[in-house]
Amino acid sequence: MTPRWLFALEAERVHALVGFGLKIWGKLPRSPQMPNPALAQKILGLNLPNPIGLAAGFDKNATMVAGLSRLGFGAIEVGTLTPKAQLGNPKPRVFRYIPQQSLQNSMGFNNKGVAKAAQRLENLPPLPCLIGVNLGKNKDTPLENTLSDYEKALKASLGVGDYYVFNLSSPNTPNLRDLQNESFVDELFSMARERTHKPLFLKVAPDMPSDGLLAVCERAIKAGAKGIIATNTTIDYSLLPGARQSGGLSGRVLEAKARVVFEEIARAFFGRAVLVAVGGISDAKEAYERIKMGASFLQIFTAFIYQGPTICRQINQDIVKLLQQDGLSSIHEAVGIGQKR
């Protein structure tokens, strides 16, 4: 559990403190971690040691990757990174709702620019986890030039990611979510497919009507996306009485909604795309549920903030027990088992 006193400090201050600790920890000598073969999978040619990933937004600038990898994450997604550095929205912009184990953030893609992060990733020693690179547009780029922002960001980070994610789903960059339309995703993935053979993912919001969302995912897959990451934070403020009227909600209040959206996507695309579930996952029961729905792997963010550094190992250990209870010998057998029945 995260020590309670840390919650008395302003959220971004704690994040900076933790980041400092992780940077140092990442530099200390390490003994190799033995992955549990029951949890390992080969996905799109990539070796994923276990199904618990860290969602985008925690390590925006790729400064903590080595330290984070020691906490046992199977994949770490850095970013969102934009072509140019930008400050993001004014502070305070992260709010805790402790009884609800939830957060609300309106960060606005604060980051030091994709080139710096790419350089850091290039200088890292080999790590026992996958690295995802999550890309976005600068706030001051006019909407009609967005494609060129994604292209610049991709070009600047080619070679450093195991997979790439196009984030069109943050609620904190004006009009970004409008780009979750068929014509833009078609252009976006067609452009990216020309530039790289690495797996490309679309990260979607949970707030779109289902028909539109499935149509956008379909088009992305046809244009070259290998997977869908569902979901980003929600702007459905009815989920949290007393929520602020701006910024995205994450954590427990998002759990049910993200699960429903993920299930719709899984019903439509399981077997045709790699599916990654994120949103409100805080224990092995929920993680395993989404694996059975069709998630090849999962990502967590808010539960990591509330439960602290042991969460990843805990969930992984508990997933092994759930697999045993179901008489399954590997996670691969569990992925999408609910769709196959």
Ligand X SMILES: Cc1cc2nc3c(=O)[nH]c(=O)nc-3n(C[C@H](O)[C@H](O)[C@H](O)COP(=O)(O)O)c2cc1C
**Binds ligand X by CB under 6 A, chosen from 72, 171, 279, 294:** 279
**Binds ligand X by CB under 6 A, chosen from 49, 72, 280, 336:** 280
Distant-in-sequence, close-in-space partners of 5: CB < 8 Å, separation ≥ 6: none
**Binds ligand X by CB under 6 A, chosen from 199, 251, 294, 336:** 251
Q: How far is the CB of 134 from ligand X (least distance, A)?
A: 5
Q: How far is the CB of 129 from ligand X (least distance, A)?
A: 16
224 and 190 Cβ atoms separated by less than 8 Å = yes
Q: Note whether 287 binds ligand X by CB under 6 A.
A: no
What's the CA gap between 276 and 265, in Å, rounded? 10
Residue 38 or 130 with smaller CB distance to ligand X: 130
Stretch of 83-91, 180-188, 248-256, 329-337 lying at the interface with ligand X (CB under 6 A) = 248-256
Stretch of 2-10, 51-59, 140-148, 321-329 lying at the interface with ligand X (CB under 6 A) = 51-59
Paired tokens of 287:
């993680």
| Residue 170 designated active-site | yes
Site for ligand X, residues 95 to 154, rule: CB under 6 A: 103, 105, 107, 109, 134
81 and 111 Cβ atoms separated by less than 8 Å = yes
Annotated catalytic residue, options 69, 170, 282, 296: 170
Sites of contact with ligand X (CB under 6 A): 55-57, 60, 79-80, 94, 103, 105, 107, 109, 134, 167, 170, 203, 232-233, 250-251, 254, 278-281, 300-303
Residue numbers annotated as active site: 170
